[in-house]
Amino acid sequence: MKTFTYTVKDELGIHARPAGMLVKEVKNFQSKVMLEKEGKTVDASRLMAVMSMGVKQGQTVTITVKDGSNESAKAVKGASVDVNGSILKTNDSGVAVFNLRKGDYPIKIKKAGHKTINDIVMVAEAAVSKTIVLPEA
């Protein structure tokens, strides 16, 4: 895992164009890339999540890159998963299953001793599986 900080210099901050460029670049790699600002962490491969951060000029963000192999990742049992107000706990395998209609849903995952993750789940026509790495605090 590699973590570094960056202070945004663009006078418009991370708006649509740089967010899109970042997401496009992140998707070229197998690694999991997370973007954090002021305690809010999002998946850097999700355009709307990156834009929702509202990063402005002069603000510092933390970027965490985790090896994409996930061999060292352990399931997090008992994490609270909130999807659009419905809350479930993850099971022994670190899984929470929601039945959702087509649409985009805000998701928040938290557990003591771990960083809170805010993201968006996009449900299309078929079942959607989403893997999220919950980094330790």
Residues labelled as active-site residues:
15
Query: Three-state DSSP class for 126?
Result: coil
How far apart are alpha carbons 22 and 13 in whole angstroms? 13
Q: Is the dihedral of CA 61, 27, 110, 112 positive or negative?
A: negative
> How far is residue 1 from each of residues 64, 95, 101, 112, 133, measured CA to CA in Å?
7, 23, 35, 21, 12
